[in-house]
Amino acid sequence: MKYLDEYKKWLTDSYFDEATKKELEAIKDDEKEIKERFFKELEFGTGGLRGILGAGCNRMNIYTVRKATQGLANYIIKQNGQEKGVVIAYDSRRMSPEFALQAALCLAANNVKAYLFESLRPTPELSFAVRELGCIAGIVITASHNPPEYNGYKVYWEDGAQITYPKDVEIIDEVNAIKDFSEVRITSRKEALDKGLLCIIGKEIDDRYIENLKKQIINPVSGEGADINIVYTPLNGTGNKPVRRILKEMGFKNVYVVPEQENPDSEFTTVGYPNPEDPSVFNLAKELAKKVDADIILATDPDADRLGVQVKDKNGEYVLFNGNMTGALIAEYVFSQKARKGLLPKNSALVKTIVTGNISNRIAEEYNAKLIEVLTGFKYIGEQIKLFEQTGSYEFVFGYEESYGYLVGTHSRDKDAVVSAMILCEAAAYYKSQGITLYEQMENIFKKYGYYEEQTVSVTLKGIEGMEKIKAIMEEFRKNPPKTIGDYRVLRYRDYMTDTITDVGTGKVVPTGLPKSNVLYYELNDDAWCAIRPSGTEPKIKLYFGVRGSSRVDAAERLRRLKNDEVFNIK
């Protein structure tokens, strides 16, 4: 069997180090584990690599990182971009510093200059640095909010956004063209430094990044607004220094950081799964918030591109806003305040992903902004910024996705939890000066646009069997598209894989106008919708539901009935 042959090669080839061989020797009697590690190569997908750490061609290790980097270097050389260089950042995960250095040394061995951050930095700062340094590309070593056994490798292009079509496919082809690890070049740190092909960066880029964040301030903090109590947890990741710095420089006096989650911890000991979408990661933050009577609780994921928010409700209890609520809160604040001050461009745009809630459509309409929908993945929002700059068609004001990713401004071309934390605290201070809390402002938004309620349900299906099951589920939905879901009629269904929107009533088919993606989306009556897609980064199939009700209670009941429909009984 092929996977056993590959396993034996890793055990015997002198290219692989002794620690790798020792790890593989320990699983010699576990054929299932051998198969999981070697039945395929860890795929370099449209965003890069993400996988479980360990020895083997289907795992994240220095060898798979080097191979990915060699493919990227080959592509850069073909584009004559080696002199521009590549900037590299990394987070607090296991092996992140090692992977970042290996990527830098592989680039240097190919005469591509590498700018390596001196220590961990947020993903949005990497995006900023690509353009600030005039690099051809960027690499960030992170697995975002995945459990501790994961790590990843994401590639950005010279516009500061993650790679999109056709560059993603072209780079993937270069990586796949490497048939043997012996083709991968590597040099030593000393040689790379001596040749000027490795440059260590840090404070200067930090300062420029923070200055660009400050340009997004609409209402400078003053008076009682500066006295709001803020509790923040970086969840042992990269957000600690930049979030605290920007809040301090804005003038906030009372910022309390959860001590157990302040410093880097690759095991994420206090939470295990460092995802700010999970209410349990806020447990320690809520304890601190109650002690200091916090107005707002903030949590950033390990690479500080996602932000979770909790605020006090009318009963004084801290409640978690979902990504759609936080996005709507930021959007309404930014658009309304820019409009109030005459700062809102006439050709302003609000960009959201296709699985983000429909309240954004109403906000865009209210402020005469162009609402643009893109595929799931913030790289498509970043791509729109580039297109706006090239065509002069629109000015980007705000973009967001339901999975806790938001961007105000264009300093970064990826979601930015640092600027999002900044703008939310600014909003909290502003609304406090108006005599209302963030919770009350959220209620005002619902009263203004309708009570929208959404939920994402993820079903984990691990391993080879899980991959096959996910594939079969998507095939079944395509063969037998539902006509009704819960209490709703399906008006139109979109298949982004076949680039079609089908009107159920007339049978008319029109194109989606977006690139191909394995997503099915059902437009329902009464502004409700649902969608299904495999996760691009985790062994999961994801279900999305959205409704609009006459009250919070009505919306919650509508959502409950929709998501419990037997159509989505997936196990």
In tens, the pLDDT along 158-211 reads 999 999 889 999 999 999 999 988 899 999 999 999 999 999 999 999 999 999
Share of the chain above pLDDT 70, in %: 99
d(CA 357, CA 403): 11
144 is catalytic: yes
Give residue 79's pLDDT.
95
> Residue 8 belongs to what H/E stretch?
helix 2-12
Helix, strand, or coil (residue 259): helix
In tens, the pLDDT along 251-300 reads 999 999 999 999 999 999 999 899 999 999 999 999 999 999 999 999 99
Residue 537 pLDDT grade (very low, low, confident, very high; cuts 50, 70, 90): low
DSSP for 396-459? EEEEEETTTEEEESSS-SS--HHHHHHHHHHHHHHHHHTT--HHHHHHHHHHHH-EEEEEEEEE
Give residue 539's pLDDT.
83
- Residues constituting the chain: 571
Q: Say which of 92, 144, 420, 517 is annotated catalytic.
A: 144
- Give the up-direction half-sphere exposure of residue 81: CA atoms within 13 A in the CB hemisphere: 20
Mean predicted lDDT score pLDDT of the chain: 95
Give residue 571's pLDDT.
65
Does residue 47 register a pLDDT over 80? no
Ramachandran area for residue 230 (φ above 0: left; ψ -120 to 50: alpha; else beta)? beta
pTM over 0.85: yes
* Chain Cα centroid distance, residue 382: 12
In tens, the pLDDT along 419-439 reads 999 999 999 999 999 999 999
Give residue 466's pLDDT.
86
In tens, the pLDDT along 386-410 reads 999 999 999 999 999 999 999 999 9
d(CA 83, CA 85): 5
Instruction: Round to the nearest angstrom and report the end-to-end CA distance of the chain.
Output: 31
In tens, the pLDDT along 70-104 reads 999 999 999 999 999 999 999 999 999 999 999 99
Domains 40-201 and 451-568 equal at CATH topology level? no
d(CA 502, CA 494): 6
Does residue 501 register a pLDDT over 80? yes
d(CA 128, CA 140): 12
Give residue 569's pLDDT.
78
Q: Phi and psi for 568 in degrees, rounded to 5? A: -105, 30
Give residue 566's pLDDT.
83
Domain residue extents for the chain: 40-201, 211-449, 451-568
Residue 225 pLDDT grade (very low, low, confident, very high; cuts 50, 70, 90): confident
DSSP for 470-520? HHHHHHHHHHS--SEETTEEEEEEEETTTTEEEETTT--EE---S---S-E
**33-66: b or e for each residue (b if 16 or more CB lie within 10 Å)?**
bbbbbbbebbebebbbbbbbbbbbbbbbbbbbbb
Indicate the fold that domain 211-449 takes in CATH: Alpha-D-Glucose-1,6-Bisphosphate; Chain A, domain 3 (3.40.120)
In tens, the pLDDT along 436-492 reads 999 999 999 999 999 999 999 988 888 888 888 999 999 999 999 999 998 999 999
- Could you identify the residue written with the tokens 């710095």? 245
- Could you identify the residue written with the tokens 């590639």? 155
Q: Are 386 and 379 in contact (CB under 8 A)?
A: no
Share of the chain above pLDDT 90, in %: 89
Does residue 1 register a pLDDT over 90? no
Does residue 417 register a pLDDT over 90? yes
The CATH number assigned to the domain with range 40-201 reads 3.40.120.10
Give residue 43's pLDDT.
85
Radius of gyration for the chain, computed over Cα atoms and rounded to the nearest angstrom: 24
Positive or negative: CA dihedral 556, 559, 565, 570: negative
* Chain Cα centroid distance, residue 538: 12
Give residue 212's pLDDT.
98
Question: If you classify domain 451-568 with CATH, what class do you get?
Answer: alpha beta
Residue 535 pLDDT grade (very low, low, confident, very high; cuts 50, 70, 90): confident
